[in-house]
Structure 1
Amino acid sequence: MKTPTLVALTTLVALLSPAVSYPGMATALSALHHHASPADEDPKELIGDLLTLTDSQLTSIGKDIEAILLGTLTAESSTIDNSVPAALGSSACSSDTCCVWKWIAYDMTAKFNDTSGRCTLFARAAVRLGFHDAGAWSKTSSYGGADGSILLTDELMKTLYNKYHQYGVGMTDLIQMGATIASVVCPLGPRIRSFVGWVDNAKAAPAGLLPGVNDSADKLIALFKAKTIDPHGLAALVGAHTTSQQHFVDTGRDGDPQDSTPGMWDVKFYGETLNSVPPRVFKFASDEKLSVDSRTADEWKEFVGDQEHWNEDYAQEYVRLSLLGVNNINILKECTKVLPPRVNSFVAQDQTVLDLWLQGQFDQLNSLIDDSVLLTRFTSRTTIGKDQTKPLED
């Protein structure tokens, strides 16, 4: 973030120290320290058309996005429209850019959670898709980035595209809106400011620009710096692994999660990457390397136990990621208001069985947990004995 340096912060604290005893002052200073950046941290970069536009040429959206990219404006928003949208195809809906997106948000939300309250494999796929479509770009690329070119195989997004394209909905918009809706549907996730108006491009993105699960910290940091994302931002973005379950890195452990709360957007991922975990938790080698690298370790540790800090930083960095390769940022439209409300607290009703599964038991539950199904029938009818630990079937 483009914020005061630690030197400036120290000076400010010295000047204000007599006032620390006043109500709220300690909280304010704590927040200021939270946003302080190391003096040697590279300044945040602008991207796309914002690099060449003057302040007088910026729209209100362009100004807000510029401020988000520079770290002077939050990328989270609680603005919500609780009204029922006009009918699709009606003149009222056609005259409101966000009307069709309210209907899309309904469809996505229904697919992104299930009876357990955790977010589903469709939500996790949407987050991953947003990363992979936008991430195939670097400062030396003449094309690529968030342009919808990746969307050739995702069945849910193709279905939504076929349903809503007649109303002016583009593929890139679906991908990026899907990623932000998925983030907030996942319990505790951030409500990220969400825009539409990306330009689709069917040309395949440049190869070799996406990270690998076995990459070194040096390779990952260099790869993301070339995308204008610094080590601080990289540490925030990889936290999306908190909801994930791997299927292809090790097929012998298909469905194993990356922390002990699959389908939840919490910060357990950060602490558990650094420490011992239940047997079923599968750590990516790249995450372990980043967690202890000197350029990312401090921020990594700060995220441990600090949900709001991570949500804020993740939202900031995801807006940047979603705009890589985009050259019409200034004329995008904001539709954050269609996102569902944030889930501020969550207690898994089937935690007893989930904990046993994390210990390596109940392999037959893999697909149900992947689908975020509530395991109540297993919770109420489970026998646990020395030689028998399995759910009783109907």
Structure 2
Amino acid sequence: MKFSTLSTFSLVYITTVATTAASSSNGQCAVWYKVLNDIQTNLFEGGKCGDDAHDALRLSFHDAIGYSPKMFNSKPPQFGGNGADGSLIKFASTELNYHANNGLEEIVGDLRNLADKYKVSYGDIIQFAAAVSVGNCQGGPSSRVPFMAGRPDATQAAPDLLVPEPFDSVEKMLARVGDAGLSPEELVDLLASHSVGDQEHIDPSIPGTPFDTTPSILDTKFYRDTLVPGHIWPGDGQYTGEAKSPTPGQFRLQSDVALAFHPRTILHWISLALGGQDRMASRFATAMGKMALLGQNPKILYDCSAVIPVPK
């Protein structure tokens, strides 16, 4: 089985983390210990892997994927977003109206208040909250999810239609994330977050339905379960973006099923289903670290990964 090799972007990221690791103990990172205490106590309900932690993970992807070099390079050039820059908070009045961002209103407001309270950037608070949330969920990677701080403020709203939707074709999803800088394998790696998440707005007849029958645990079961043919609608029928599930009370996204069986992603999907917890969790952490730098200049950031709690 062939796996993807490290991209140039990944090498830049790894080199940057290695050369700036010493900065994690300096004064630049001190504020993040205060943020950590506040976010764990008040937002994540004492460090739980609950709804706010799930929403923080979702927000981190939706903010970071708002980046399109293809748009910048078009003729005439168009603004393609700056990726993980916090535009979803700073320009919430615009971006929360995008269909793909439905349901993020509460977490956007909570993180805006935290960022303003501690005078940190919106881009940083989004990726910090996501990294902390992974540490709150059982089954996370044995090492911390990387957290680089120092993102400049967003300058304008990211364009609409840059976040993949659950009803998109595999080709459309892979083209979109590829434009932003993620490989097909990295997209599949990031979907491990669905094992701790639930849906609120796709099927309104069953709000809060988990994707996995063991919610709040980051595990390979999500990948195995998605390979099992579905035969029931968990709610009162089919909604756009929803696929049949094999288990009552379990929600399944159309896009997850499509990626699980597509020729470009099925082998990697199976490798995560059968390759063991440690491999899946490690790849998820690496993909999150790369995603958190989309559209950013790693050379101006500093490493505060030591602040992130070690996953349970």
Q: Same fold (TM over 0.5)?
A: yes
Letter matched to residue 134 of structure 1: A
| 1:250-289 correspondence to structure 2 within 5 Å | 250-275=203-228, 277-289=246-258
The answer to whether the Cα contact below 8 Å between 1:270 and 1:301 also exists between their aligned partners in 2 is yes
Q: Is 1:102 matched up with 2:33? A: yes
- Once the 2 structures are TM-superposed, how far is the Cα of residue 112 of structure 1 from its aligned partner? 5.8
Q: Is 1:144 matched up with 2:97? A: no
Q: In structure 2, what is the Cα distance between the partners aligned to 1:188 and 1:221?
A: 27
Tell me which residue corresponds to 1:204. Answer: 157
Q: Is 1:175 matched up with 2:126? A: yes
TM (norm. structure 2) is 0.78
CA shift digits 1:34-91 (9 cap, x unpaired): xxx45xx5761328xx6xxxxxxxxxx8724499xxxxxxxxx9xx98xxxxxxxxxx
Q: In structure 2, what is the Cα distance between the partners aligned to 1:179 and 1:261?
A: 20
Q: Whose relative contact order is higher, 1 or 2, with alpha carbons under 8 Å and at least 6 apart?
A: 2
- Once the 2 structures are TM-superposed, how far is the Cα of residue 281 of structure 1 from its aligned partner? 0.4
Tell me which residue corresponds to 2:65. Answer: 135
Letter matched to residue 158 of structure 1: R
TM (norm. structure 1) is 0.62
In the alignment, which of 269, 280, 299 is matched to residue 330 of structure 1?
299
In the alignment, which of 132, 136, 157 is matched to residue 111 of structure 2?
157
Tell me which residue corresponds to 2:78. Answer: none
Identify the range of structure 1 (273-282 vs 235-244) with the bigger mean alpha-carbon deviation.
273-282
How many residues are paired up? 266
Q: In structure 2, what is the Cα distance between the partners aligned to 1:210 and 1:103?
A: 32
Tell me which residue corresponds to 1:230. Answer: 183
- Once the 2 structures are TM-superposed, how far is the Cα of residue 208 of structure 1 from its aligned partner? 1.4
Q: In structure 2, what is the Cα distance between the partners aligned to 1:213 and 1:66?
A: 36
Q: Is 1:290 matched up with 2:259? A: yes
| 1:50-65 correspondence to structure 2 within 5 Å | 63-65=15-17
Q: In structure 1, what is the Cα distance between the partners aligned to 2:163 and 2:259?
A: 16
Q: In structure 2, what is the Cα distance between the partners aligned to 1:198 and 1:45?
A: 21
Taking only the aligned residue pairs, the percentage that are identical comes to 30
Q: In structure 1, what is the Cα distance between the partners aligned to 2:51 and 2:113?
A: 16
Q: Is 1:240 matched up with 2:176? A: no
- Once the 2 structures are TM-superposed, how far is the Cα of residue 181 of structure 1 from its aligned partner? 0.8
In the alignment, which of 132, 139, 151 is matched to residue 188 of structure 1?
139
The answer to whether the Cα contact below 8 Å between 1:173 and 1:198 also exists between their aligned partners in 2 is yes
CA shift digits 1:264-290 (9 cap, x unpaired): 222221111111542110100000000
Q: In structure 1, what is the Cα distance between the partners aligned to 2:163 and 2:301?
A: 25
Q: In structure 2, what is the Cα distance between the partners aligned to 1:252 and 1:105?
A: 35
Letter matched to residue 301 of structure 1: I
- Once the 2 structures are TM-superposed, how far is the Cα of residue 195 of structure 1 from its aligned partner? 0.9
CA shift digits 1:309-333 (9 cap, x unpaired): 1111111111221111113x11211
- Once the 2 structures are TM-superposed, how far is the Cα of residue 111 of structure 1 from its aligned partner? 4.4
Query: Relative to 1, partners in 2 of residues 1:249 and 1:332: Cα closer, same or farther, differing over 3 Å?
Result: same
CA RMSD of aligned residues (A): 2.6
Counterpart of 1:224 in 2: which secondary structure? Answer: helix
Q: In structure 2, what is the Cα distance between the partners aligned to 1:157 and 1:283?
A: 28
Q: In structure 1, what is the Cα distance between the partners aligned to 2:175 and 2:157?
A: 23
Larger Rg computed on CA atoms: 1
Identify the range of structure 1 (283-292 vs 150-159) with the bigger mean alpha-carbon deviation.
150-159
Q: In structure 2, what is the Cα distance between the partners aligned to 1:269 and 1:197?
A: 34
Query: Relative to 1, partners in 2 of residues 1:255 and 1:133: Cα closer, same or farther, differing over 3 Å?
Result: same
- Once the 2 structures are TM-superposed, how far is the Cα of residue 216 of structure 1 from its aligned partner? 1.3
Q: In structure 1, what is the Cα distance between the partners aligned to 2:251 and 2:64?
A: 26
CA shift digits 1:183-206 (9 cap, x unpaired): 111111232111100111141102
Letter matched to residue 321 of structure 1: M
Q: In structure 2, what is the Cα distance between the partners aligned to 1:157 and 1:65?
A: 25
Query: Relative to 1, partners in 2 of residues 1:42 and 1:265: Cα closer, same or farther, differing over 3 Å?
Result: closer
The answer to whether the Cα contact below 8 Å between 1:111 and 1:120 also exists between their aligned partners in 2 is no
Letter matched to residue 336 of structure 1: S
The answer to whether the Cα contact below 8 Å between 1:124 and 1:243 also exists between their aligned partners in 2 is yes
- Once the 2 structures are TM-superposed, how far is the Cα of residue 263 of structure 1 from its aligned partner? 1.8
Q: In structure 2, what is the Cα distance between the partners aligned to 1:66 and 1:100?
A: 22
Q: In structure 2, what is the Cα distance between the partners aligned to 1:42 and 1:138?
A: 22
